[in-house]
């Protein structure tokens, strides 16, 4: 069907390495050419061995789920004739021990806040239905074992 490419690059930059005191900062380059700084999370690897300004894999995981859900929601809303003026999601991933006792992002809460305009504004049950449909369609949500829940913010009308 399709392939998606991300190149992850790191180099030792002269650090000793075997003492485990090397930088975890690295670079993600995507197939469209965008390149960003990434790093281990400072929650996992202390600064200065991690770069708090870089995106860590856990943040990227949460952002990917949120972004995928949003893109599906916007598509569904447009097809149903609703005009979405803004969409903001402060998504939160929870790092906890999974049933096997290993650390994992076990839960992700998507907390979208939306603004609609126009002659046709959805009722709350229609918004909930669009969120459920978006969740079912989201490729990323369909690809993970973590529980992903959607909790729209109260100002979502």
**Per-residue CA distances from 5 to 8, 36, 115 (Å):** 10, 14, 34
Half-sphere exposure of 137 (CA within 13 A, CB side): 16
Report yes or no: 50 and 37 within 8 Å, Cβ to Cβ.
no
CATH of 57-150, one of 3.40.50.720, 3.30.300.20, 1.10.260.40, 3.40.50.1110: 3.30.300.20
Given this model, what pLDDT does residue 9 score?
96
Radius of gyration of the CA atoms of the chain, in A? 19
Domain parsing of the chain, residue ranges: 1-55, 57-150
Quote the CA–CA distance of 45 and 54 in Å, as a whole number: 13
> Which is nearest to 87 in space by CA: 78, 96, 79?
78
Quote the CA–CA distance of 60 and 19 in Å, as a whole number: 28
Find the angle CA(111)-CA(8)-CA(60) to the nearest 5 degrees: 5
Report yes or no: 85 and 74 within 8 Å, Cβ to Cβ.
no
**CA–centroid distance for 69 within its chain:** 9
Show pLDDT as tens, one digit a residue, over the chain (157 residues): 899 899 999 999 888 899 999 999 999 999 999 999 999 999 999 999 999 999 999 999 999 999 999 999 999 999 999 999 999 999 999 999 999 999 999 999 999 999 999 999 999 999 999 999 999 999 999 999 878 888 888 765 5
Given this model, what pLDDT does residue 15 score?
83
Quote the CA–CA distance of 72 and 12 in Å, as a whole number: 40
């Amino acid at each position: 069907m399709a392939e998606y490419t991300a190149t992850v690059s790191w180099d030792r930059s002269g650090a000793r390495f075997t003492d485990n005191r090397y930088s975890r900062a690295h670079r993600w380059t995507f197939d469209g050419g965008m390149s960003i700084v990434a790093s281990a999370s400072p929650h996992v690897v202390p600064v200065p061995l991690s770069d708090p300004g870089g995106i860590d894999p856990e943040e990227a995981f949460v952002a990917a789920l949120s972004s995928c859900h949003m893109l599906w929601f916007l598509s569904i809303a447009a097809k149903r004739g609703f005009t979405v003026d803004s969409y903001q999601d402060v998504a939160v991933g929870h790092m906890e021990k999974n049933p096997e006792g290993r650390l994992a992002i076990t839960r992700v809460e998507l907390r979208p806040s939306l603004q609609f305009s126009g002659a046709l504004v959805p009722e709350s049950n229609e918004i909930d239905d669009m969120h459920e449909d978006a969740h079912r369609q989201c490729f990323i949500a369909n690809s993970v074992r973590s529980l992903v829940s959607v909790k729209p913010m109260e100002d979502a009308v």
